[in-house]
Amino acid sequence: MDRRSFLKTSALGGAAAATTALAAPAYAQGNRTLTMVTTWGRGLAGVFDAAQRVADNITAMTDGQLTVEIKAAGELVGAFEVFDAVSSGQADMYHGADYYFVGQHPGYAFFTAVPFGMTAQELSNWYYMDGGMELHDELGQIFGLKSFLAGNTGAQAGGWFSKEINSPEDFNGLKFRMPGLGGKALGKLGASVQNIPGSEVYQALSSGAIDGTEWIGPWADEKAGFQEITKIYYTAGFHEPGAGLSVATNREVFESLSPAHQKVIEIASAECHQWNLSQFLANNGAALARLQAGGVKIMEFPDSVWDAFGKASKEVLAENMSDELFKKIHDSAMASMKSSSAWIETSSGVYTKQRDRVLG
């Protein structure tokens, strides 16, 4: 830069600075509406509620300076297109389950759930205390996203089946809906695994396009109406022991917000992570009792099936280890899980066992 253009630039810079000093504080430029696309159909119990909760939190915490206009799956883009829509700037933010985006990067699985992975509490411990949030951000930098956990379903059910599962061989040829790395593990047992957006699962199951499905747990599953189609329900699943949901904001949009509003998005999401977990956990027990009273057969997979799930899950995780960032996230999550679960099991694990025994 020659001296003349330097002076010119400086003069312009000075003028801009003076204008800024006289104007309202930086960033506070009136109300702003952010468009949030979601992986959820409108009204889908628990998960759409979580998107709505984050949106309402943001509006309330900014006195309406920031509002969020929610577009359910299919209203602006399809359920599985939200990631690319926000990454490209077509929409400002999404609410969804990040394991839908293992095609973009397999490391995203850890921010929803990996098979034989973390419970909701263990996920929280890792995310907020042991580096999980920073790794979520490291992934987000690749795709121009700023992500936060913003919902949790707790432990998910094994799902709905057209027949009983008595051995691993019963999965052979079974057309089953299961996203993420859990779905890839089920594929190793010979299942024909399909990934179908939540709002389309009922239709797929009732038409016979699939023989079975996992969705979430008793309350959300009952709301979805799967008990109208089949009466065989497995309670505990291997695939989503504490599934996190996420909000991701386009990084340029996020950085254009004031530091206060950036913090609002972070806290609005964190609040929803806890609120949503409580919503699921508070509703699941009564829903399971209703399903059972309505004739649903409540089942548990036998050990031989759990063993097969375990073997397949380990293989799926191992297959992704050649990706450096996947391995980094995996090692961080598993180290945190081991460390925090050691105390959880010897404290609350022992306590609840004794409480059940003493109180009967």
Q: What is the DSSP string of 58-126?
A: HHHHTTTSEEEEEE-TTTSS-GGGHHHHHHTTSSSEEEE-GGGGTTT-GGGGGGT--TT---HHHHHHH
As measured in angstroms, the least distance from the Cβ of 283 to Ca ion is 16
- 215: its two tokens: 């969705």
DSSP 3-state of 35: strand
Q: Which residues are annotated as a binding site for substrate?
A: 156, 177, 214, 240
Min separation Cβ 221 and Ca ion, Å: 10
Select 44 or 68, whichever has its Cβ closest to Ca ion.
44
Tell me the window of 156-164, 228-236, 279-287, 318-326 that interacts with Ca ion (CB under 5 A): 156-164
Annotated binding site for Na(+): 215
Judge contact between 51 and 87, C-beta under 8 A. Answer: no
**Closer residue to Ca ion (CB): 185 or 257:** 185
Stretch that binds Ca ion, among 109-117, 122-130, 153-161, 284-292 (CB under 5 A): 153-161
Shortest reach from residue 216's CB to Ca ion, in Å:
5
Which of residues 92 and 240 has its CB atom nearest to Ca ion in the complex?
A: 240
Nearer to Ca ion, 83 or 215 (CB): 215
Binding-site residue ranges: 156, 177, 214-215, 240
Residue 359, CA atoms < 13 Å, CB-side half-sphere: 6
Instruction: Report d(CA 322, CA 231) in Å as an integer.
Output: 41
Distance CA 223, CA 264 (A): 31
Report d(CA 351, CA 59) in Å as an integer.
Answer: 41
Nearest distance from residue 213's CB to Ca ion, in Å?
A: 9
Q: Which is nearer to Ca ion, 156 or 230 (CB)?
A: 156
**Measured from the CB atom, is 114 or 257 closer to Ca ion?**
114
Quick one: 292 exposed, middle or buried, by C-beta within 10 A (0-12, 13-18, 19+)? middle
Mask for 208-237, x = binds Ca ion (CB under 5 A): ------x-----------------------
Count of chain residues binding Ca ion (CB under 5 A): 3
C-alpha to C-alpha distance for 219 and 328, rounded to whole angstroms:
35
Which parts of 90-119 interact with Ca ion (CB under 5 A)?
Answer: none
- Say if residues 58 and 265 touch (Cβ distance below 8 Å): yes
Q: How far is the CB of 112 from Ca ion (least distance, A)?
A: 8
CB of 200 vs Ca ion, minimal distance in Å: 14
Residues near Ca ion (CB under 5 A) are 156, 214, 240
